[in-house]
Amino acid sequence: MSQFIPGAADLSDEYLEISEDDRLQEEKHFATVLNAFSKYEQVTFSEINSQLKHYESINPQYLNFLKDYKDRFRAVKHGAIFNYNFFAQILGPHLCEEFKFDLDDGVDILHMNPRKMNVASHQHDERTGPEDIEKVHSTLKQFVRDWSEEGSYEREKCYGPIIAELENIYAQDKRSEISVLTPGSGLGRLSWEIARRGFKSQGNEFSYYMLLSANYILNFVKKTNHFKIFPFIHQRSNNFQKSDPVRCVTIPDVNPSSLPKHSDFSMVAGDFLELYNDQPDQWDCIVTCFFLDTARNVFEYIECIHRALKKGGIWINLGPLLYHYAESYNSFSIELSYDDVKKVIIEMGFELVKEGVQNCTYTTNKKSMMALLYKSVMFTAKKITDKPKTDAWSDVAGRSYNYNRTKHT
């Protein structure tokens, strides 16, 4: 059974003590996320309308070469409508009223008014910025990576080697006793695949975009290919064919509720460091996939992983070192190279059992002219000492360092 805690607002105070200020911040942020989903159609239509104006402002003779240009814009709006209907399902419990789609007979999609979902975003009327809408777009692409047939190649390259390593290390008849944590679990497919193979699997995630979406797909969707989404309509460049950006992707490629009957699978909402720093010697295995570089201070992640693992526990990592906060202006961020990371891992009390490079992509559009290839590092490390073994450690251990950690994205 998958158990899901959909956000700090629903966590009891005993579970995670948070101040009133933090709670308000949390609610405000949640409202921003709900609003971003709810304004998707409005924002997308407005972008399409302004592109249409650009086309209509050029020399009409040029448009003779592109007689179907209006149909192309219609197709993009059509895709946006499907995406929006899908978001309405995801937001379900947070909607104030039923959201129905009645396309009036005879209404041309090109001139249709965007709809507006009425979301329960408390008393906050949060503004939706381009970065919020960008996260809604990324959520669509994350669905392709995790829950579509089209994403299977990417998953084979990223999740495949991790799963093979887990299967190699742990014999099948022992797996039900092995607890595996996947922090930064996104839409949950890797954690789900681990549970499917008989492990006790827990995902952890702090982004409300991911949490709301993962909650929906994991707990409410019971059929394969139940939804049509159009994740690439926002990609206007690097298309080979005019049909490429408006192609449909069906999700999910597997039935998310088809886990074996006694599976032990949970997803926990919250910041990895806040949740797992307090769980010493709990986990048999921690899997980080495209996660290590989400740290502002990667030392803290390594320390937390070390602490949370049992002695003899295994850490499997795969991913690049594209430090997420490195490019944000004036943002706290420490960026270590892999040789530094490796030194820290060993000094902190791990033995590096295996390492290599794995070529893989992340939420790639396979029909695009452009693809970003990561030469990801993959390693397996074993916790061999209870306490970090370096002498330098005694100087800093136990102190807490304060900097402005953005809790949610």
Ligand X SMILES: C[S@@+](CC[C@H](N)C(=O)[O-])C[C@H]1O[C@@H](n2cnc3c(N)ncnc32)[C@H](O)[C@@H]1O
Tokens of 6: 């959909």
* Cα angle, residue 406 at apex, residues 403 and 409 outer, rounded to 5°: 165
Q: Which residues of 120-140 are buried (b: 16+ CB within 10 A; e: fewer)?
A: ebeeeebebeeebbebbbebb
Distance CA(7)–CA(14), nearest Å, equals: 15
Question: Smallest distance from the beta carbon of 401 to ligand X, in angstroms?
Answer: 15
Say which amino acid occupies 242. K
Question: With respect to ligand X, which residue has the nearer C-beta, 246 or 314?
Answer: 314
The neighbour count for residue 347, using CB atoms within 10 Å, is: 15
Q: How far is the CB of 400 from ligand X (least distance, A)?
A: 16
Q: How far is the CB of 133 from ligand X (least distance, A)?
A: 17
Residue with Cβ nearer ligand X (118 or 279): 279
Nearer to ligand X, 4 or 291 (CB): 291
With respect to ligand X, which residue has the nearer C-beta, 364 or 380? 364
State in angstroms the smallest separation of the CB of 323 from ligand X: 11
Closest CB to ligand X among residues 207, 246: 207
Instruction: Give the residues lining the site for ligand X (CB under 6 A).
Output: 145, 158, 183-186, 204-207, 210, 271-272, 289-291, 294, 409
First CA to last CA distance, the chain = 27
Q: 335 Cβ partners below 8 Å, 6+ apart?
A: 298, 321, 323, 326
Nearer to ligand X, 227 or 291 (CB): 291
Query: Smallest distance from the beta carbon of 326 to ligand X, in angstroms?
Result: 14
Q: Which CB atom, from 7 or from 183, has the smaller least distance to ligand X?
A: 183
Residue 4 host element (H or E): strand 2-4
Q: What is the nearest approach in angstroms of ligand X to the Cβ of residue 379?
A: 16
Question: CB-wise, 37 or 99, nearer to ligand X?
Answer: 37
Instruction: Say if CB 184 and CB 291 are below 8 A apart.
Output: yes
The two beta strands, 350-360 and 374-383, are: antiparallel
Residue closest to 259 by CA, chosen among 213, 191, 204, 318: 191
Residue closest to ligand X when measured from CB atoms: 184
Q: Given its phi and psi angles, is residue 399 left (phi above 0), alpha (psi -120 to 50 degrees) or beta?
A: beta
281 vs 305: CA distance, rounded Å: 10
Q: Which is nearer to ligand X, 10 or 177 (CB)?
A: 10
**Token pair in block for residue 256:** 């998310």
Shortest Å, Cβ 313 to ligand X: 19
Closest approach of ligand X to the CB of residue 222, in Å: 23
At its nearest, how many Å lie between ligand X and the CB of residue 290?
4
Task: Please report the beta strands in 198-280, taking only residues with DSSP state E, as ranges in sequence order.
Answer: 200-205, 227-229, 249-251, 264-269
User: In sequence order, what DSSP letters do the residues of 62-76 get, joined into one string?
Assistant: HHGGGTTHHHHHHHH
